[in-house]
Chains A and B, each alone.
Chain A
Amino acid sequence: MSFFDKSRTVAPPGYSRWLIPPAALCVHLCIGQAYAFSVFNLPMTKLIGITKSAPGDWLLTDLGWIFSLGIFFLGVSSAIFGRWVEEGGPRKAMFTAACLWGGGFLISAAGVYIHNIWVIYIGYGVIGGFALGIGYISPVSTLIKWFPDRPGMATGMAIMGFGGGAFIASPLSVWLMARYSTPTHVGVAETFITMGIIYFCFMTVGSVIVRIPAPGWKPAGWTAPAKPKKLITSNNVYVYQALKTPQFWLIWWVLCLNVTAGIGVLGQASAMIQEIFAGKVTVIAASGFVGLMSLFNMGGRFFWASTSDFIGRKNTYFVFFVLGTILYILVPQTGAAGSVPAFVICFLVIISMYGGGFSTVPAYLRDMFGTQYVGAIHGLLLTAWSMAGIFGPVLVNYIRQYNVTHGVPKAQAYNVTMYVMACLLVIGFFCNLAVREVHRRHHMSAVEAESHVIA
């Protein structure tokens, strides 16, 4: 196992740090498949009936749990294994994620083959969910250490890959299912096996490429600022000590509220645009809108995280909350005015900031808690994502349903939701406003910091 040890991953002199983003992308592009899992939902409701659902076939409500379990265990595993990922090094973590992700697909294929949904819950939901959590955080602190001059841009590139993974997985899954299907068989199991093998190989390449910088390494020509900027610490906070700081919980709420505001509309985008602009926007056009939103979700991850290197993390979140609030308030007006372009522009900007919230937060944590345990602290913070993943869609669906059953026309049923989202962002604004420097009593001493260094 020594090849996977942290000590074996220290970069030799002359190693280019620009090899780290592709290594990280190898993992994130694969685990980003999770966003495209819904392409399997309809085919999996016809495993017995083949052309249409038959008695004994799974229901969409049963299948919806697979993705929810995956996201839930993403949060759980990143919180549990964050410290292990940090101390064991990125190669071990990335290879573990590769095994779990590939293995999860193979187990799910067996579940499809024997037609037992519990096997898929365990394969994709639990084991795959663990791969999501470990894989998501595995390259974060490594990137931050390699790019002390541009940490936002570096983590933005990796987390952009998580958004982009669905672009590859969605057409690939459809193409593979078309190849493997026959008049008497839906090719889901074979597609799972093929994708499991491809993902395992792709992620393993990332784990082989990845390196950590040698102790004391700095980018050529770069020197750490003699006087650290306000809100950027040069100290380190131990992972579990971070939980005792108000800053951790404030940033937890900042992420949770930003994600809640985006995730709810992301899942409902297609239905929402069709109902608000009934007769104007077709099903096909709505699918184009969803595609455009995913592109802005991905692009926003890189754009906003890179921007945060120049304007600061706190200011970046201020932009998200202020601009997001204004846009959410404007959305009902665009609906009332019947302006599809204005509606689309509002949501594209909103969704870019949703993506930006994910990619800017690792650098925010690094500024607050230092680099030593940033990956592990990031892992703990991702529980906010799990929470938002439950509350965001529930909030949107519940408010819409309540309005419709109380006689509100469908075109206006989302108006209250938009104002609720704006209120959430206002709360987020104040949480962000309350973020101050971490008190020095939480900092690790030089001796403590040294004793925690494994490499």
Chain B
Amino acid sequence: MANSHGHNNGLKLVLAWLFVGIPLTWGVIQTLINSLKLFQ
């Protein structure tokens, strides 16, 4: 029971971090691509 609770918690954590991490990473990559223009 405790194991399944911990497993659930882990899944929630992964989903929650992906939910915010994916758009943030996409935005950072877009900005990095734009920033590279400084060095061109």
Contacts and interface: CB of A to CB of B under 8 A. Distances in A.
A294 B31 contact: yes
A341 to B, nearest CB: 10
B37 A29 contact: no
A216 to B, nearest CB: 21
A170 B35 CA distance: 14
Classify the interface of chain B: helix, strand, loop or mixed: helix
Given A26-B19, A167-B28, A168-B23, A19 B13 contact: yes
B35 A292 contact: yes
Given A16-B12, A18-B13, A168-B26, A161 B36 contact: no
Classify the interface of chain A: helix, strand, loop or mixed: helix
Contact of B30 (A26, A29, A167, A289): A167
Interface stretch (A79-87, A280-288, A423-431): A280-288
Interface residues of A, number: 32
A291 B20 contact: no
A29 B31 contact: no
Contacts of A19: 12-13, 16
B28 A285 contact: no
A292 B34 CA distance: 8
Given A285-B38, A288-B38, A164 B19 contact: no
Contacts of B20: 22, 25-26, 29, 161
Nearest to B18: A22
A164 B24 contact: yes
A54 B26 CA distance: 36
B23 A29 contact: yes
Nearest to A12: B5
Contacts of B12: 16, 19
Contacts of A291: 31-32, 34-35, 37-38
Interface residues of B, number: 25
Contacts of A292: 35, 38
A171 interface: yes
A23 B15 CA distance: 11
A171 B27 contact: yes
Nearest to A160: B24
A29 B5 contact: no
A278 interface: no
B23 A23 contact: no
Contacts of B26: 168, 171
A205 B19 contact: yes
A232 interface: no
B31 to A, nearest CB: 5
A330 interface: no
Interface in A279-315: 284-289, 291-292, 294-295, 298
Contact of A287 (B19, B30, B37, B39): B37
Contacts of B32: 291, 295
A209 interface: yes
Given A14-B5, A161-B24, A164-B24, A23 B16 contact: yes
Interface string A370-405: 000000000000000000000000000000000000
A323 interface: no
B40 A285 contact: yes
A344 interface: yes
Contacts of B23: 29, 168
Interface of A: 14-16, 18-19, 22-23, 25-26, 29, 161, 164, 166-171, 205, 209, 284-289, 291-292, 294-295, 298, 344
6 smallest beta-carbon distances between A and B, as pairs: A167-B27, A288-B38, A288-B37, A168-B27, A291-B35, A22-B16
13 contacts: A19-B12, A22-B17, A161-B24, A164-B27, A167-B24, A167-B31, A171-B26, A286-B38, A287-B37, A288-B34, A288-B40, A295-B28, A344-B38
